[in-house]
Chains A and B, each alone.
Chain A
Amino acid sequence: MKYMFSSYQPKNSFDEYFKDNVNSAREILIPLLSSLDNMGIKELNRNHSAAKKLLLRHGATFRLNDTGLKGTERILPFDPLPRIISKDDWVTLEKGLKQRLEAIDLFLDDIYNSQKIINDGIIPRELIESSEGWRPQMIGFKPPLNKWCQISGLDLIRDRNGDWHVLEDNLRCPSGVAYFLENRLVMKNIFPNLFSGRIVKPIDEYPSYLLKTLQELAVWTDTPKIVLLTPGIFNSAYFEHSYLAQEMGIQLVQGHDLVCNDDYVYLKTTSGLKRVDVIYRRIDDDFLDPQNFRKDSCLGVSGLLDAFKSGHVALANAPGTGIADDKMIYSFVPKMIKYYLDEEIIIKNVETYICHYQKDRQYVLENLSKLVVKSVAEAGGYGMLIGPHSTTSEIEEFAKKIKKNPRNFIAQPTLELSTVPSLCDGELYPCHVDLRPYILRGKDSWVSPGGLTRVALKKGSLVVNSSQGGGCKDTWVVGK
Chain B
Amino acid sequence: MLLSRVAESLYWINRYLERAENISRFVEVSEAMSLDCPPGSAEPWLPLIDASSDRESFDKRFPEKKPNDVINFLIRDRLNPNSIISCIQMARENARQIRDVMTTEMWEQINILYWNMQEGEAIWNKPRQEQLSEIRRECQLFYGITDATLSKDLAWRFSILGRLIERADKTSRILDVKYYLLLPSLDELGGVLDELQWIALLRSAGAYQMFRKAVQNSIKPNSVARFLLLDPIFPRSVRYCLEGISNTLKMIDSSPPPENPTELECMRGLLKAKWSYIRIEDIINDGLHEAIDSLQMDLNKLNDLIQEKYFIN
On A, residues with C-beta under 8 Å from B are 56-59, 69, 228, 232-233, 238, 242-243, 245-246, 250-254, 256-257, 267-272, 274
Q: Do the beta carbons of A242 and B1 come within 8 Å of each other?
A: no
Q: Do the beta carbons of B2 and A269 come within 8 Å of each other?
A: yes
Q: Do the beta carbons of B5 and A232 come within 8 Å of each other?
A: no
Q: Do the beta carbons of B99 and A59 come within 8 Å of each other?
A: yes
Q: Do the beta carbons of A246 and B100 come within 8 Å of each other?
A: yes
A residues in contact with B313, CB < 8 Å? 268, 272
Binds A, one of B104-112, B139-147, B289-297: B104-112
A residues in contact with B129, CB < 8 Å? none
Does B301 interact with chain A (Cβ within 8 Å)? no
What are 15 A-B contacts with C-beta separation under 8 Å?
A58-B108, A238-B96, A245-B99, A245-B100, A251-B3, A251-B6, A252-B99, A252-B100, A253-B3, A254-B5, A257-B5, A269-B1, A269-B2, A271-B1, A272-B313
B residues in contact with A238, CB < 8 Å? 96
Does B270 interact with chain A (Cβ within 8 Å)? no
A residues in contact with B87, CB < 8 Å? none
A residues in contact with B3, CB < 8 Å? 251, 253, 257, 267-270
B residues in contact with A57, CB < 8 Å? 108, 111-112, 115
A residues in contact with B138, CB < 8 Å? none
B residues in contact with A246, CB < 8 Å? 99-100, 104
Q: Looking at chain B, what size class is its interface with the partner chain?
A: 20 to 34
A residues in contact with B6, CB < 8 Å? 251
Contact mask B82-117 → A, CB, 8 Å, 1/0? 000000010001001111110010011001100100
Cα A250 to Cα B158 in complex, Å, equals 19
Does B262 interact with chain A (Cβ within 8 Å)? no
A residues in contact with B4, CB < 8 Å? 257, 268-270
A residues in contact with B104, CB < 8 Å? 246
A residues in contact with B97, CB < 8 Å? 232-233
Does B219 interact with chain A (Cβ within 8 Å)? no
B3, B111, B112, B252, most chain A CB atoms within 10 A: B3
Cα A232 to Cα B93 in complex, Å, equals 11
B residues in contact with A257, CB < 8 Å? 3-5
Beyond known contacts A233-B93, A243-B99, A252-B99: 10 more, CB 8 A cutoff: A56-B111, A59-B99, A242-B100, A251-B101, A252-B100, A269-B1, A269-B2, A269-B3, A270-B3, A270-B252
Q: How far is the CB of A341 from chain B (nearest CB, A)?
A: 38
Cα A46 to Cα B158 in complex, Å, equals 42
Q: Do the beta carbons of B310 and A59 come within 8 Å of each other?
A: no
Cα A256 to Cα B313 in complex, Å, equals 10
Top 6 nearest A-B pairs (CB, nearest first) are A245-B100, A242-B99, A252-B100, A246-B100, A270-B310, A59-B111
Cα A316 to Cα B22 in complex, Å, equals 46
Q: How far is the CB of A228 from chain B (nearest CB, A)?
A: 8
What residue in chain A is nearest B154 (Cβ atoms)?
A: A270
Out of A254, A256, A270, name the residue touching B7 (CB < 8 Å): A270
Cα A233 to Cα B154 in complex, Å, equals 23
Q: How far is the CB of A240 from chain B (nearest CB, A)?
A: 11
Cα A269 to Cα B3 in complex, Å, equals 4
Out of A56, A251, A253, A270, name the residue touching B115 (CB < 8 Å): A56
Cα A439 to Cα B18 in complex, Å, equals 44
What residue in chain A is nearest B78 (Cβ atoms)?
A: A70
Q: How far is the CB of A258 from chain B (nearest CB, A)?
A: 10
A69, A238, A269, most chain B CB atoms within 10 A: A269
Cα A59 to Cα B112 in complex, Å, equals 9
Cα A253 to Cα B100 in complex, Å, equals 10
Q: How far is the CB of B80 from chain A (nearest CB, A)?
A: 15
What residue in chain A is nearest B96 (Cβ atoms)?
A: A233
Cα A251 to Cα B89 in complex, Å, equals 23
Contact A250/B96 with A56-B115, A57-B112 known, Cβ cut-off 8 Å = no
Cα A174 to Cα B3 in complex, Å, equals 27
Q: How far is the CB of A360 from chain B (nearest CB, A)?
A: 46
Contact mask B1-41 → A, CB, 8 Å, 1/0? 11111110000000000000000000000000000000000
Cα A205 to Cα B114 in complex, Å, equals 31
Out of A242, A254, A270, name the residue touching B2 (CB < 8 Å): A270
A residues in contact with B107, CB < 8 Å? 59
Cα A306 to Cα B101 in complex, Å, equals 29
A residues in contact with B154, CB < 8 Å? 270
B residues in contact with A254, CB < 8 Å? 5
Cα A252 to Cα B97 in complex, Å, equals 9
Q: Do the beta carbons of A256 and B100 come within 8 Å of each other?
A: no
Out of A59, A253, A274, name the residue touching B96 (CB < 8 Å): A59
Q: How far is the CB of A403 from chain B (nearest CB, A)?
A: 45
What residue in chain A is nearest B111 (Cβ atoms)?
A: A59
Contact A252/B98 with A59-B111, A257-B4, A269-B3 known, Cβ cut-off 8 Å = yes
B residues in contact with A58, CB < 8 Å? 108, 111
What residue in chain A is nearest B94 (Cβ atoms)?
A: A233
Cα A252 to Cα B6 in complex, Å, equals 9
Q: Do the beta carbons of A251 and B112 come within 8 Å of each other?
A: no
Q: How far is the CB of A266 from chain B (nearest CB, A)?
A: 11
Q: Do the beta carbons of B99 and A274 come within 8 Å of each other?
A: no
Q: Do the beta carbons of A69 and B5 come within 8 Å of each other?
A: no
Contact mask B278-298 → A, CB, 8 Å, 1/0? 000000000000000000000
Cα A233 to Cα B96 in complex, Å, equals 7
Out of B1, B7, B158, B252, name the residue touching A274 (CB < 8 Å): B1
Cα A246 to Cα B3 in complex, Å, equals 15
Q: How far is the CB of B74 from chain A (nearest CB, A)?
A: 20
Cα A58 to Cα B115 in complex, Å, equals 11
B291-313 interface with A by 8 A CB criterion: 310, 313
What residue in chain B is nearest A228 (Cβ atoms)?
A: B100
B residues in contact with A242, CB < 8 Å? 96, 98-100
Q: Do the beta carbons of B108 and A69 come within 8 Å of each other?
A: no
A residues in contact with B98, CB < 8 Å? 242, 252
B residues in contact with A271, CB < 8 Å? 1-2
Cα A33 to Cα B6 in complex, Å, equals 48
Cα A155 to Cα B280 in complex, Å, equals 72
What residue in chain B is nearest A241 (Cβ atoms)?
A: B100
Q: How far is the CB of A25 from chain B (nearest CB, A)?
A: 38
A residues in contact with B252, CB < 8 Å? 270
What residue in chain B is nearest A238 (Cβ atoms)?
A: B96
Q: Do the beta carbons of A59 and B108 come within 8 Å of each other?
A: yes
Cα A140 to Cα B3 in complex, Å, equals 35
B residues in contact with A69, CB < 8 Å? 89, 93
A residues in contact with B93, CB < 8 Å? 69, 233
B residues in contact with A59, CB < 8 Å? 96, 99, 107-108, 111
Q: How far is the CB of B158 from chain A (nearest CB, A)?
A: 8
Q: Do the beta carbons of B100 and A251 come within 8 Å of each other?
A: yes
Cα A242 to Cα B98 in complex, Å, equals 7
Q: How far is the CB of B146 from chain A (nearest CB, A)?
A: 16
